[in-house]
Amino acid sequence: MARFIASTKQVVCISTSLLLFIGCNLALASTEKNVNQLQKQLIELRTTVDEKSEELSLLRQENKQKRKFMLSQISEMESSIAHKSIVIAKIDNKLKKNKAFFETTKSDDLLADDLEKAISELSAYVSSSLPFKTQDRLTALDEMHRQLVSKAVSSPRLANKLWAFVEDEIILTKGNGIYRQIINLDHEQKLVDVARVGMMMLYYRDGAGNVGMAKKQGTDNEKWRFVSLNGKAQIHQIHSLFDSFQKQVRFGEFSLPNALSSSVVTRGL
């Protein structure tokens, strides 16, 4: 009986141990499963954090570029405002000088005499200068003379218009470019492209690719007329000039036919 009881106790102990072992294994398995789930969630969270971090970095970079662009725009606007302020100040100063000049002028008749003389001198200059849109420039002077004689415009206002004309003439001496104008070639009116080099030289090119230049003629070299050019070197030089101007290349050194002689002049523009 005592042996049976002892055996029963041993069985109970063994069963209890087995239950504890199984329970531990189940607990370990559950814990391992939870750890795996946590690891998976942690990986997902890390991925999400990395993605958000990259998005944030891109947003920061984009905002940095926008801020840089806005600062650049602000700088340009400030520069433009400063420039316009200078222009306004110059205009205001010019108006004050003109007002002072007009106030000291005793009579419009005296000013009108000076204007008529100035218009006459400018007309003579335009007629003898490089034949660039000569008729248009002379027409502008003729209109001012008509307004002066008819008194359609007051002398002070005409003085301003005449001074603006003089400023335009000065600008012509400093610039280069390609224009369209009608020229007299071999006693025929022809619409061509012209390349103007300041107010020193004027070259033309027609639609067929023929080229030429304005050249002074006569014993005193006082009159200009357009002549065609046939030399290969000169044709190449003029085509190169036109092509450069069309590509907005207007500064540099160009070899060009000389309008004052038969030689070639190398001119820096």
Residue percentage of the chain with pLDDT more than 70: 72
| pLDDT value of position 252 | 67
pTM equals 0.56
Answer for the pair 205, 192: CB distance below 8 angstroms, yes or no: yes
Answer for the pair 215, 238: CB distance below 8 angstroms, yes or no: no
Residue 228 DSSP SS3 = strand
Residues 122-140: tens digit of each pLDDT: 999 999 889 999 999 999 9
Residues 210-241: tens digit of each pLDDT: 999 998 876 656 688 899 988 899 999 999 98
Answer for the pair 131, 185: CB distance below 8 angstroms, yes or no: no
Greater pLDDT, 199 or 94: 199
Q: Which two tokens stand for residue 227?
A: 């002549």
Angle ∠(8,14,15) on CA atoms, nearest 5? 90
Give the pLDDT mean for 250-254: 70
Sole residue written with tokens 């849109």? 133
The pLDDT-based confidence of 11 (bands split at 50, 70, 90) is very low
Give the pLDDT mean for 36-52: 81
Residues 69-117: tens digit of each pLDDT: 777 767 766 776 777 678 777 777 776 776 666 665 555 667 888 899 9
Give the pLDDT mean for 17-38: 62
| pLDDT value of position 265 | 47
